[in-house]
Structure 1
């Protein structure tokens, strides 16, 4: 029986009409590299062959009425690729704004829980002749790392070659157990929760005192509920706006090498600079620094099972510092503190506590929280999510089309209606921005600020002549793995 783990199931429980828990990605394909040219029906048939043997694309959620524990994954015996792969024509002129508008609309609709929780929409009509593929996968099935890996498994290293994961062993598709077995097993698992709770509580109680002690010594990451309020920190709707941009990874590494920091430090500083300008243009730049929640992958660091193996770290963006180099120095220093603090927390803490998630209670709480607009009544937990996801370092081909852009879009939440996700891809950084449309209607302004913020850092790096660098060398630093 393949029962969902607590954290995976929590993304189902948290989902509502406004808080949509799927992750998306926009693949931009050069159709000129497709051996047989582009034709939608041919692309869909090829996809059918590739996903048919992968249980991750065929499994769906099953939850009997009397089940007292989390739902189970079962194979969709009536799997039909036509329910999952569709196409849409981008309105003329097919420029980036039109593409983003279509992607925002697609991201605004929930996935059908009666089927496997993924969709792909092929976008035709792009002005440069490219083909777009908008992917949607529920967060219950993937996190940042596993989502990028799953898409990469459908890709190849040459236009006509088999997929990267061809020949790799796949687990058997989860057979559908009898509902009675699911119910009995769920009742037994529920009976063991008090014992598990008793074991988990003592180490968790020590987290807050240690946080307070570290904070008094200046050795703690920013605390939740200390972020300043901005226009994108409110109650969200179900409408989404997206934007995207692409930068050279070599430029980021040049800044990293010049100042002796990490790529993640440069990414956060770049985001901070773009947010500073975005908020200043709207006369709402806070006096205190913005705080980002940075997902951290714990793949390989925890024995907890399940798809989502992720923790979180609060990071100061030093957005109250005007000078870009000083801001980078502050972020690099504070990231060292935050990472050291994060290491003291159990890698499986979030997964362990999520096992106690109760579906009806969580679903009701989310709806009440949203309906009463409580996100606007208490201090801001964090301003936004910034995620840094490792992608393929070499060219890859999706159904024969070379991937010339791979832009990720994560979920947004009540109180934090903006998500910026960065993915490294073939010598570039592909950045996807997604927000509640009502809270950030001019998202392209923020996207266009990102290359400007990087250019500012790059210019400072090239003017730098002194050999001194702030912070330990990259070899001495042990950054947390990106999610």
Structure 2
């Protein structure tokens, strides 16, 4: 029996009609490299061949009687690729704007929980340069956060992609074990055993957590702690969200970012966060909304290498960092960002890698879901101090070009979920010499994502010029 971890299940409980917990991606394909000419039926058949025996794509959730424990994964015996891979055309004239509007609409639709929690929309007719440009095929993918985190989601690409146009996907042929479908009595029995052991588990978690809080207070007094939640300034994207989404994407040069990293002794993540801080500063300043204090981001951190847990799709923690939106000079912002990130990482490393996962085990399905719905209905995100302004994720991607069913992947833009109180998500992924920036937001909070994402290349140029002036 394959039970969801508490953290995986929490993403199910967090979901409401407005707060959708799937992660998305926009994949732009060049079908001219395909060994055989593109057809939707052919592409759908190749995807089916790649995923039909992979549990991550063919399992669905089954609830435990009375909601006494987290759900379990079971194999979908009626798995049908036509329920998951759909075909649609981008509206005329098929330019970037129409593509983003279509993707935003698809991102606002919930996944069907009676089936495996993923789907792909094959979008035809995209012409990035307008009516005269070459036509591209775009894949808009959605996968529930209960199934993947950033790293595991990136790894799943291997089941669909190859290193050459005419070779099989990287993981095709690997044998994997499908989850067993337990009967109702077994589910109920295991749930009752789990309930009985929770007091013992709680006792094991409380002690280390208390020590962690004590150490965090000491680090704060020394000025070497990560930024404290509930201390962020309020912005237009820090309120109750709706199901409407806006999406925008941009490309940056990875070589430029690495050059800045080397010249300043920082990290790629330091540079990315510095660019995000500059872009947010410019965006809010244009709208007359720039706070006098710095915005704060929640940054997911993979603990896959240090976690002692063997089960669960999500092995992540999170740290908080200020983005320097109160600093105009990009080089000064980078220097301060690098120092803050060092403190935040040291603080984060002092916390158990499994702390978030341990506490998530106590998320009661019915109580947790009711609390989330009450929080949304009462619009409490607008009434308490802002926890953090947005989520920023940096997902490592493939360093070499990949091919999806023989079509070269020209760009892969990741998109994370948005939350009540933090209606903006910026996710970046490195791939074959580029940094792909994906911005997704509640449309009522950020009506035009391009008004934000357009500042990323500008900020990179400003930082490049500032570093060049040092030489």
Partner of 2:464: 458
Partner of 1:86: 86
- State the alpha-carbon separation in 1 of the partners of residues 247 and 140 from structure 2: 12
Partner of 2:347: 341
Preserved contact between residue 159 and residue 170 of structure 2 (Cα < 8 Å)? yes
Equivalent of 1:252 in 237, 252, 257: 257
Change over 3 Å in CA distance of 1:179–1:67 after alignment to 2: farther
Partner of 2:170: 164
* Higher mean C-alpha deviation, range 65-74 or range 332-341: 65-74
Preserved contact between residue 254 and residue 461 of structure 1 (Cα < 8 Å)? no
Structure 2 residue runs of 5 or longer lacking an equivalent are 128-133
- State the alpha-carbon separation in 2 of the partners of residues 301 and 65 from structure 1: 34
Preserved contact between residue 387 and residue 421 of structure 1 (Cα < 8 Å)? yes
Deviation at 1:67, TM superposition (A): 4.7
Partner of 1:77: 77
Equivalent of 1:196 in 194, 201, 204: 201
1:235 aligns with 2:224: no
Partner of 1:180: 185
Q: Given the two structures, how large is their TM-score scaled by the length of structure 2?
A: 0.97
1:211 aligns with 2:216: yes
- State the alpha-carbon separation in 1 of the partners of residues 98 and 158 from structure 2: 26
- State the alpha-carbon separation in 2 of the partners of residues 168 and 457 from structure 1: 45
What's the secondary structure of 2:249's corresponding residue?
strand
Deviations 1:406-447 (A, max 9, x none): 000000000000000000011100111000000000111111
Partner of 2:389: 383
Deviations 1:278-315 (A, max 9, x none): 00001111111111000000012111221100000001
Partner of 1:122: 122
- State the alpha-carbon separation in 2 of the partners of residues 368 and 163 from structure 1: 45
1:262 aligns with 2:255: no
Aligned length: 464
Partner of 2:295: 290
What's the secondary structure of 2:16's corresponding residue?
coil
Q: Given the two structures, how large is their TM-score scaled by the length of structure 1?
A: 0.95
Partner of 1:310: 316
Partner of 1:476: none
What's the secondary structure of 1:224's corresponding residue?
coil
What's the secondary structure of 2:437's corresponding residue?
strand
Deviation at 1:168, TM superposition (A): 3.2
Equivalent of 2:414 in 393, 408, 412: 408
Preserved contact between residue 67 and residue 187 of structure 1 (Cα < 8 Å)? no
- State the alpha-carbon separation in 2 of the partners of residues 24 and 35 from structure 1: 27
Preserved contact between residue 67 and residue 183 of structure 1 (Cα < 8 Å)? no
What's the secondary structure of 2:66's corresponding residue?
coil
Partner of 2:436: 430
Partner of 1:472: none
Deviation at 1:66, TM superposition (A): 3.2
CA-based RMSD of the aligned residues comes to 0.9
What's the secondary structure of 1:122's corresponding residue?
strand
What's the secondary structure of 1:66's corresponding residue?
helix
